[in-house]
Amino acid sequence: MDNLSATRAVAKALRRGFDSSFVFFLVLAVGSGLACWLLRGPETMWQSLVEDADMLSFLLPKLAAAAAVSAMVPILLPREVVARWLGESSGVRGVVIASAAGSVMPGGPITSFPLVAALQAAGTGRQTLIAFLTAWSVLGIQRILVWELPLMGSEFVIVRVLVSFELPLIAAGIALLAIRFADARKGEIAGEDK
């Protein structure tokens, strides 16, 4: 990529960064800042700004590394590979594999949902997809490393992971019961029609 197109790409990303949610947060930040100034005094407001600067300088080096890793993951772990893991196994084994795959799958919803949608179209069980999505959102290793561990400390992370690692299985189990129940009722109604 030459310099000009690289500059353009960065400019485009900057524009994306300043979208409608940016305006929302701008209003929120300015509004709460004003309220802070008026209700708690200017010193408190400046104090808050200093704390924010500390937090930002603490987070930025981590987020830069995370951005680099996220850029490489699609190359190292192509969507097709994860799809193969999930598509080939079913039953309890499938749910367990889906949970494990979900927690190592990095990236935001833009990466994960097309994969899950493709698997749904290919006929993967809904309980398997629910286990994957639950593990991806609750146990995602990337989010734990970048956000939770630095901000909340290791004890919090350990307790949360300990009480959460069975959640994908519980969600999948409830989903499976609901699917069975719905199928059984459909069967009954079809039976009455005959």
Partner 1 sequence: MDEITILLWVLALVCGIVVWRKHGDAAASVFPQAVRTFVGFLPRLVLALLAAGFISKLVPADAVADLIGKDSGLGGVLIASFIGGFVPGGPIISFPIVVVLRDAGTGPAQLIAFLTAWSVLAIHRVLIYESTLMGWRFSALRLGSSVVLAPLAGCGAMLLYTILQ
Interface with partner 1 (CB under 8 A), residue total: 86
Q: Residue 33, interface with partner 1 (CB under 8 A)?
A: yes
Q: Which of 114, 111, 167, 162 is nearest to 138 (CA)?
A: 167
Judge contact between 121 and 158, C-beta under 8 A. no
Between residues 94 and 140, which has the closer beta carbon with respect to partner 1? 140
Amino acid at 8: R
Q: Which stretch binds partner 1 (CB under 8 A): 20-28, 87-95, 97-105, 185-193?
A: 20-28
Q: Residue 13, interface with partner 1 (CB under 8 A)?
A: yes
Q: Residue 17, interface with partner 1 (CB under 8 A)?
A: yes
Distance, in Å, from the CA atom of 57 to the CA atom of 55, rounded to the nearest integer, reads 6
Q: Residue 184, interface with partner 1 (CB under 8 A)?
A: no
Angle at 81 between CA 79 and CA 86, to 5 degrees: 95
Residues between 98 and 137 that touch partner 1 (CB under 8 A): 108-110, 113-114, 116-117, 120, 126, 129-130, 133-134, 137
First-to-last C-alpha distance (Å) of the chain = 67
Judge contact between 103 and 136, C-beta under 8 A. yes
Residues between 34 and 73 that touch partner 1 (CB under 8 A): 35-36, 39-40, 44-45, 47-49, 51-52, 55-56, 59, 61-73
Between residues 109 and 187, which has the closer beta carbon with respect to partner 1? 109
Q: Which of 56, 123, 61, 132 is nearest to 101 (CA)?
A: 132
Q: Residue 96, interface with partner 1 (CB under 8 A)?
A: no
Between residues 19 and 192, which has the closer beta carbon with respect to partner 1? 19
